[in-house]
C-alpha cells in the first residue's frame, strides 16, 4: 500500500486502509474455503465480509467522499467509486449457495474489489490527504465517529474513580 504518500499519518485514512486490508483477507478466506469444497464455511465468511464491506462503504461515502464532493474536488472520480460500491452490493445479493458458478462469481467480485481498493489507496485517499480542508476533516471525523457509536458500545466514559 502507499506508505510513502503520507496517508497513513492521517488516522481516519489509515483506518479505511486497514479495513481494505481486512476485507481482502476475508476475501482470501472465502476463496480458500470454496477451493476446499467447503461452501457452507465460505458462506459464513461471506456474510461477515458483506457486513464489513457495507460498514466500510458507509464510512467512505459519508466521510471522505462527502467531504470531497462538498469541496467540489474530484467529484467525478468519487461518483465512479460510489457506482462501484452499488455494483458490489448488487453482485453480493446475486450470489447463491447452490449456484454452479459461485466460485467464478466470487473471483470476479474480489477481482473488482481489489481494483477498486487500489483506486482508493493510490488515488482518492492521497488526493483527500492533500486537498481536504478542516471542514472536510470534520465531515470525515463525524462520519467515522457517529458510525462507531451506532454500531458498538465500547465507549466507556469512565466513572470508576469513586
Ligand atoms: Fe470504496
Ligand atoms: Fe474502500
**What would the pLDDT profile of 85-124 be if each residue is shown by its tens digit?**
999 999 999 999 999 999 999 999 999 999 999 999 999 9
Q: For residue 149, what pLDDT band results from cuts at 50, 70 and 90? A: low
CA of 161 to the centre of ligand 2 (A): 40
CA of 157 to the centre of ligand 2 (A): 30
In the structure grid, which three cell numbers stand for residue 145, read together? 465517529
CB 125 within 8 A of CB 13: yes
Q: Kindly tell me if the per-residue pLDDT of 156 is higher than 50.
A: no
Torsion of CA 88, 94, 95, 99, to 10 degrees: -150
The pLDDT tens digits for 35-62 are: 999 999 999 999 999 999 999 999 999 9
Whole-number percent of the chain with pLDDT over 70: 86
Distance CA 83, CA 78 (A): 9
CA of 5 to the centre of ligand 1 (A): 19
Q: Kindly tell me if the per-residue pLDDT of 15 is higher than 50.
A: yes
pLDDT (0 to 100) of residue 145: 86
Q: Which ligand is nearest to the CA of 121?
A: 2
* Better-predicted residue by pLDDT, 114 or 155: 114
pLDDT (0 to 100) of residue 37: 97
The pLDDT tens digits for 20-33 are: 999 999 999 999 99
**Extents of the domains making up the chain:** 9-149
CA of 78 to the centre of ligand 1 (A): 9
CA of 160 to the centre of ligand 1 (A): 40
Q: Kindly tell me if the per-residue pLDDT of 146 is higher than 90.
A: no
The pLDDT tens digits for 120-139 are: 999 999 999 999 999 999 99
The CATH homologous superfamily of the domain defined by 9-149: nmb1532 protein domain like (1.20.120.520)
* Better-predicted residue by pLDDT, 41 or 3: 41
CA of 156 to the centre of ligand 2 (A): 28
Q: Cβ contacts of residue 117 below 8 Å, gap of 6+?
A: 20, 23, 24
pLDDT (0 to 100) of residue 161: 39
pLDDT (0 to 100) of residue 73: 85
Q: Kindly tell me if the per-residue pLDDT of 11 is higher than 90.
A: yes
Amino acid at each position: 500500500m502507499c506508505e510513502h504518500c503520507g496517508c497513513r499519518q492521517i488516522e481516519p485514512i489509515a483506518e479505511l486502509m486497514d479495513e481494505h486490508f481486512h476485507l481482502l483477507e476475508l476475501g482470501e478466506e472465502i476463496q480458500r474455503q470454496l477451493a476446499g469444497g467447503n461452501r457452507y464455511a465460505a458462506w459464513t465468511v461471506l456474510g461477515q465480509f458483506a457486513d464489513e464491506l457495507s460498514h466500510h462503504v458507509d464510512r467512505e461515502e459519508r466521510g471522505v467522499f462527502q467531504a470531497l464532493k462538498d469541496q467540489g474536488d474530484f467529484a467525478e472520480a468519487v461518483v465512479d467509486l460510489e457506482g462501484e460500491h452499488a455494483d458490489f452490493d448488487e453482485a453480493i445479493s446475486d450470489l447463491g449457495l447452490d449456484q454452479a458458478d459461485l466460485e467464478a462469481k466470487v473471483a470476479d467480485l474480489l477481482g473488482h474489489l481489489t481494483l477498486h481498493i487500489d483506486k482508493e489507496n493510490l488515488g482518492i485517499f492521497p488526493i483527500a490527504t492533500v486537498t481536504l480542508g478542516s471542514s472536510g476533516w470534520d465531515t470525515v471525523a463525524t462520519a467515522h465517529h457517529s458510525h462507531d457509536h451506532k454500531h458498538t458500545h465500547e465507549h466507556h466514559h469512565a466513572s470508576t474513580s469513586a
